Amino acid sequence: MTVLVVATGNPGKVTEFSAYLKDTPWELQPKPADLDVVETGKTFAENAALKATTVAQATGHWAIADDSGLAVRALNGAPGLYSARYGLDDNNRIRRVLFELQEFDDRYAEFLCAIAVARPDGSIAIAVEGVCPGEIVEPEGVGGFGYDPIFYVPAAGKTFAAMPKEEKRRYSHRGRAIADLLPKLNRLI
């Protein structure tokens, strides 16, 4: 198997990538804990590419990275690139989004995901994106992580946090990006 380093410090994302890529010829490994990448990109795609490139060059292995976040229309796309830094923890971030939306009737939101795979030399081999439309609701469900309790997917009739993992994979922004990625990834080796 060929090593594919997951360029994230988020254990939730490592778990999701492991589930998505379990039946592939890739051996997933977490990035070294002391390897930090500063996200200076202006888009999710730029940040994903930056993380994949940096980790691939540092480790000498293939690397996969994603950058994703929540974009709320009434908040002019916020929290957007700052989704992970929109508060001190998940509960704080959720409360902030709900507080900022209290004056708005428009609750439309999208989860966006960009994934990049870099060769060991740091060049980008694959770049894909996925989008999941939804709306912001009061917290519902106990699964998932991040904004999952307040992100309602009309097509499923529930929030990400109320979905079993397999169902979330089918609807999520990351699941959609992975569906585009998998055939391309498996052709690389």
Give the catalytic positions in this structure.
67
Helix (H) or strand (E) holding 176: helix 173-186
Return all residues near 68 (Cβ < 8 A) that are at least 6 apart.
44, 83, 111, 112, 113, 114, 173, 174
- Whole-angstrom CA distances from 37 to 28, 70, 119, 121 are 19, 21, 17, 17
Beta bridge partners of 151: 136
Cα–Cα dist 21/149, whole Å: 25
Confirm if 76 and 142 have CB atoms less than 8 A apart. no
Which amino acid, one-letter code, is at 64? I
Which amino acid, one-letter code, is at 26? W
The DSSP symbol for 32 reads: P
Q: What is the phi/psi pair of residue 40, to 5°? A: -105, 0
